[in-house]
Amino acid sequence: MAGEQEKRNAAIAAIDYVEDGMTLGLGTGSTAKHFVELLADEVADGLIVRGVPTSAQTQRLAEAHGIPLLPVDQVQQIHLTVDGADEADGQGQLIKGGGAALLREKIIANASDQMIVIADPSKQVETLGAFPLPVEVTQFGFTITAKKVFDALVASGIARPKVELRQGADGQPVVTDGGNFILDCHCGIIPDAPATARGLADVPGVVEHGLFIGLARTVIFGSQDGAIVLDHT
């Protein structure tokens, strides 16, 4: 599939940033999966690294491929995190959380010396917002929180947001690794992502939101025959 080849080529380009002895944040999602699999090949050839997974799913994948892992409570330094994104704009601002791992992803990314985002070209946008913005909230009082999230979105300049509780195939609410719910916020256009991020962070009951601002130094978009690397300061 064309999309899978583009994702894999982005992951191949990210491997070039990995150095022997690094502690690596391992992202979650279909593109990050390619990176984990490629990293496993390097480990099998003698590369010495330790991984810090951002989800139970990634932990299982890394363990199955023989990548040494470091418990997060033993982490002293994360040199590099490689993760995917649901959207990335020209400033390196991201929407993440389609895989419901945004809280752990942001904790690891924020603790890293460098974050590299890998994605296929469909994730590149001029303005964030077409992909529903995930907001992780506590189960307690989530309906109250959802109303406050709506108000915060409107206050930050989003015209007609729609806030929905994410449900699984079984019709039950999706529960994150942290035991929380996900609100998917259909925004259309997010005109001021930093303002939206600040507004959401101020809502009691919001554990974390999927706007990643100022975290991705490098964004790599895979193509059919290689990759395009965009560096942001």
Q: Annotate 132-146 with DSSP letters as a single string.
A: PEEEEE-STTHHHHH
Residue 203 CB partners (closer than 8 Å, separation 6+): 145, 148, 149, 152
**Catalytic residue of the set 4, 6, 37, 105:** 105
Q: Please give the Cα distance from 123 to 36 (Å, whole number).
A: 20
Q: What is the spatial distance between Cα 181 and Cα 207, in angstroms, rounded to a whole number?
A: 10
Distance CA 195, CA 156 (A): 6
**Can you read off the two tokens belonging to residue 33?**
């999966």
136 is known as an active-site residue: no
Q: How many CB atoms lie within 10 A of CB 216?
A: 25
Q: Which residues are catalytic?
A: 105
